[in-house]
Amino acid sequence: MNISHIREQFPALAREVYGKPLVYLDNGATAQKPIQVLDVLNEMQGGLNGNVHRAVHYLSVQCTERYNKARESIRDFIHAASENEIIFTSGTTASLNLLAYSFGQTYIKPGDRIVVTETEHHSNIVPWQMVCRRAGALLEVWEVDEAGALDPKKLETMLDKPGPVPKILALPHISNVLGLVNPLQEIIQVAHYYGVPVAVDGAQGIVHKKVDVQELDADFYAFSGHKLYGPTGTGVLYGKEKYLEEMVPWQGGGDMISSVSFKKGTTYAGLPLKFEAGTANFIGMVGLGAAVEFMQSLDRDMLEAYEGEITTKAMKELGNIAGCRVYGQPGTYYGQNYEKTPLFSMSVEGAHPSDMALLLDRMGIAVRSGMLCAEPLLERYGQTAVLRASFGLYNTMEELDFFIESLKKALKMLR
C-alpha cells in the first residue's frame, strides 16, 4: 500500500515538533486534514461565503448548492436511504445530545428504561443520564467483560425482564478505549427482536470501517467530522426517518421553522432542517463533504487491510513489553468476531501514563494519556489513567516501530 502518496496530501504531517519530525498518533482524539479539505475551507472562507437557504444572491445560491451536495455525499458515504435522515450537527457529542433530548421528550416516560454499555464515551452516557433525570427514567448498564467483549446473554436478560422493554439501547461501534469493532449487526438484530431501537456512537467506527446504516439496520448513528479527516465543529446524526418525523425539535430558531406566528403559533420545517436551528456551519459541512469524497476516492478495503497489518504488529510488539496490558483484545467471544482497529490503550506496570506521554511528546510523538472521557470503563479495569496510541490512515510501519522503540526508551527512564 502506497502510504507515502496519502501522507503527501496531509500538510500537517510534514511539520516538526521540538525540532523532531512529528509522529502523530492521537487520531482517536482528532485527525489531520488532507489538502482537499483545506482547499475547500480556504476557498469558501476567502471568497465564497454567503449564508445558506436565505437569499437569492449569487454567493448564497452557490453556498446552498455546495451545502446540499455535501449532504448528498455524506448520505452516500453511509448509504442512508434519504437525505432527510442526515442531520448536520457540530460533532458526535451534539448529535447524541440532540438525539437524547428529542428522543427523550418524544418517547421516554417516568419509569422507562434506557440501556447503555459500560464501554461508552462520556458523550453517550451523560446525555442519557440527563434524560433519565428529566423524565424519571432509569439507566441500565450492559457490562463489558475482561477482554472488552459484550455478552449478548447479559443484554437479553435486560431485554427479557417482565414489563415494558427498554426504550432505547445506546452503544459504540468502536469504543474509544478498546478499539474493538462491536458485532453491531448481530446486537441490533437482538435488540430489534425485542422491539428496542439502537443508537450507535460512531465517532471511532466511521473512521476505520465502511458503514452502511441500512445493512446494519441502525436506528441512529452519530459521528464527528474532525476525526474523519474533516473540519472541526462538524458532525452528523443519522436517524431513521420514521423516528425523526415523530421526534420533537431540539433547538428553536432560524432554518428549522416553516412559519412563525404569535397568533397561530409556530410550525416546523420538514426533515432534515427541523433539527438544524440557526446558521449552520455550512462551510465546515462542505469541508466534511470533501473529506468523505476524499475517503471514497481511496481503496477502503486496502486501507482496512493495511490498518490490520499495523494492528497485528503493534499488538505483538506491545505484548512483548513486560508488564504492558493492552485493553481490548481481539478474538472470538460469544460466537462473534471482535476485530481490533489500530487504537491501543494500555497500562504498563511501574510507569504512569502521563509520564510516558510527556516523554514521548519530547521525542516528537503525540499520544493521549488520561481517562479518555471513559471513566466508568477505566474503573472497570481498575485504572485511573491509560496511555493511548491511535493510528490514522496515513501512519506508517516506520512510525509504529519508532513509537515502540521510544516507548521502551521512556520505560527505561521511568522504571
Partner 1 sequence: MTIQEKQEKIIEEFSFLEDWMDKYEYLIELGKKLSPLREEAKTEENLIAGCQSRVWLDARIEDGKLIFNAESDALITKGIVSLLVSVFSGHTPAEILAADMGFIEQVGLKEHLSPTRANGLLAMIRQIQLYATVANTQKAE
414 binds partner 1 (CB under 8 A): yes
Tell me the window of 116-124, 147-155, 180-188, 350-358 that interacts with partner 1 (CB under 8 A).
350-358
The three three-digit cell numbers of residue 147, written as one number: 477482554
Measured from the CB atom, is 53 or 325 closer to partner 1?
325
Indicate whether 325 belongs to the interface with partner 1 (CB under 8 A).
no
Q: Dihedrals φ, ψ of 403, to 5°?
A: -60, -45
β strands within 251-364, DSSP E: 257-259, 267-268, 324-326, 331-333, 336-340, 343-348
Query: Is 358 one of the binding residues for partner 1 (CB under 8 A)?
Result: yes
Q: Where are the beta strands (DSSP E) in 298-401?
A: 324-326, 331-333, 336-340, 343-348, 365-366, 368-370, 386-390
Residue 352 contacts partner 1 per CB under 8 A: yes
Stretch in the footprint of partner 1 (CB under 8 A) among 194-202, 247-255, 341-349, 356-364? 356-364
Does 370 participate in binding partner 1 (rule CB under 8 A)?
A: yes
Q: How far apart are the C-alpha atoms of 341 and 338, rounded to whole Å?
A: 10
Shortest spacing between CB 30 and partner 1, in angstroms: 15
Please pick, from the candidates 61, 130, 147, 385, the single residue that binds partner 1 as defined by CB under 8 A.
Answer: 385
User: Considering beta carbons, is residue 303 or 385 the nearer one to partner 1?
Assistant: 385
Q: Does 16 bind partner 1 (CB under 8 A)?
A: no
- Contact region with partner 1 (CB under 8 A), list: 179-187, 206-214, 263-271, 368-376: 368-376
> Do the beta carbons of residue 22 and residue 15 sit within 8 Å?
yes
CA-angle at 129, arms to 127 and 135, nearest 5°: 100
Q: Are 218 and 198 in contact (CB under 8 A)?
A: yes
Q: Find all residues with CB under 8 Å of 411, minimum gap 6, and list them.
A: 321, 348, 350, 351, 356
Q: Which residues are catalytic?
A: 373
Considering the complex, what minimum distance in angstroms separates the CB of residue 328 from partner 1? 20
Q: How far is the CB of 188 from partner 1 (least distance, A)?
A: 33
Site residues, partner 1 (CB under 8 A): 18, 351-355, 357-359, 362, 369-371, 384-385, 413-414
